[in-house]
Amino acid sequence: MIKEVLVENFTNIPTAIANGATRILLADNIAGGTTTVSHGVLTEGAKYMQDQGLSLTAMIKPRSGNFNYNDLELKIMERDLFTAQELGIDAVSFGALTSAKRLDIEAMEMLIGAAQGMEVIFNHAFDEIKPEYKQEALDWLAENDVTRILSHGGPLDSNIKKNIDQLNQDKSFTQSIVITPFEGIDPNDAKTIAEQTNSSILTSSTLVPLPKN
């Protein structure tokens, strides 16, 4: 099982790896739903992970709150993607929705274009897509080379163990894109959640012991 640990500062990266992380997802403001880290943190994180020969994913999210972005916010995200590309980041995670809680195709096309050369992972915006729009979102993301989706199976403040049925239902809608259980997974529950969702990779800030910030 791949343990992708969500961390929000450089200091926690070596600790996470020492405690069993096999990949790192780097994001700021985890308690607020994640945002993009500073340029300095991203630069040092990239250097360290490259030296370790391990994969780093950068969360690209200009603010907390919903995933319906205006033109200025999308320009900020585009610039952050170019920065990640210049730093040799392996993968980036982002998502954009319309006010109707539907995949924002125009925004996603622009962001995917800016992410050329990096693996693209759709973030937990997926959990806010209305059920009637999920199938079309999954189909579009798969057709546009998105490799994975991060999903809690419900609101981030809910217990992921109670969202297993929703995660598996969403997984049943696609054979071509991986839906990764995201957040609220502690070391004691990791194996069970991986087995219940048939997942080879889990992503969470609580997968391995980390110091309290």
Residues with Cβ < 8 Å from 144, sequence gap 6 or more?
108, 109, 112
Q: Is residue 200 predicted with pLDDT exceeding 90? A: yes
Question: Could you tell me the sign of the dihedral formed by the alpha carbons of 46, 52, 57, 61, in that order?
Answer: negative
Q: Is residue 133 predicted with pLDDT exceeding 70? A: yes
Q: Is the pTM of this model over 0.95?
A: yes
The dihedrals phi and psi of 164, each to the nearest 5 degrees, come to: -60, -45
Q: Is residue 213 predicted with pLDDT exceeding 80? A: no
Confidence of residue 211 (pLDDT cuts 50, 70, 90): confident
